[in-house]
Amino acid sequence: MLALWVLTPPLATASENELATRLQQGGHVLMLRHAHAPGFGDPPHFKLDDCTTQRNLDASGRAQAMAAGGWLRGQGVKAARVYSSQWCRSLETARLLNLGDVTPLPALNSFFERTHDRVNSLVALNAFFARQPADGPLLILVTHFVNIQAIAGFGVGSGEGVLLQLQPGEAPRVVGRLDVGAPGPARTRRRSVL
């Protein structure tokens, strides 16, 4: 039976420069919350295959996603393995990063209003982590607040992410928190490390 991993923040903290350097090193995962999508949750008539029934990115969310991709490229990330929740706002965020083909991954789907899916989603996500090479290229997972909170132990805002380090046979280790979608000085003020 696959155990659910619970991550705890590391004892040591990573500097902003170290986090940027780690983005280029093998064996790291950036779990990124989708960019700004006004509202809360999804409408009652939500359908996974119909974006008109979902909460979607607005113009500022699209700009935020493009800025995140630009910031990542500025840190030397030219391409990554990019996976996304099947929600339209996550898929659009992932595509606007412009860092590679986007693969939908159901394990990244939100369980905010579907709490009965939480355990199965986390088991599937942990199995996904376990299959990844510890020295593989950067993996970007675009997902939702509740998914990141369940893995990292804390939530992040729209366009923010958590950098994890893969560890064979163990839970990924939280390295730090990045606000990759904020412009210029706001990004510096809001970025934090654990």
Q: Determine, yes or no, domain membership for 105.
A: yes
Q: What is the pLDDT of residue 105?
A: 97
**Whole-prediction pTM value?**
0.85
How many domains is the chain partitioned into structurally? 1
Q: Determine, yes or no, domain membership for 127.
A: yes
Containing domain of residue 138, as a range? 16-35+50-190
**3-class secondary-structure state, position 118:** helix
Q: What is the pLDDT of residue 117?
A: 74
Q: What is the pLDDT of residue 41?
A: 79
154: CATH: 3.40.50.1240
Q: What is the pLDDT of residue 103?
A: 98
Q: Determine, yes or no, domain membership for 121.
A: yes
Instruction: Give residue for tokens 């163990």.
Output: 170
CA separation for the pair 4, 82 (Å, rounded): 23
CA separation for the pair 4, 7 (Å, rounded): 10
Q: Determine, yes or no, domain membership for 153.
A: yes
Closest-CA residue to 33 (of 189, 188, 178): 178
Q: Determine, yes or no, domain membership for 102.
A: yes
Per the CB < 8 A criterion, the answer to whether 69 and 32 are in contact is no
**3-class secondary-structure state, position 174:** strand
Q: Determine, yes or no, domain membership for 44.
A: no
Per the CB < 8 A criterion, the answer to whether 147 and 125 are in contact is yes
Instruction: Name the strands in the sheet holding 28-33, side by side, starting at the edge strand that comes first in the sequence.
Output: 102-104, 81-84, 139-143, 28-33, 160-165, 173-179
List Cβ neighbours of 189 (8 Å cut-off, separation of 6 or more): none
Instruction: Walk along the chain (194 residues) and give the pLDDT tens digit of each residue.
Output: 333 333 434 434 466 778 888 888 889 999 999 999 998 878 888 898 999 999 999 999 999 999 999 999 999 998 899 999 999 999 999 999 999 999 999 999 988 666 667 788 888 989 999 999 888 899 999 999 999 999 999 989 998 999 999 988 888 999 999 887 665 434 433 333 33
Q: Determine, yes or no, domain membership for 154.
A: yes
Q: Determine, yes or no, domain membership for 73.
A: yes
Q: What is the pLDDT of residue 100?
A: 94
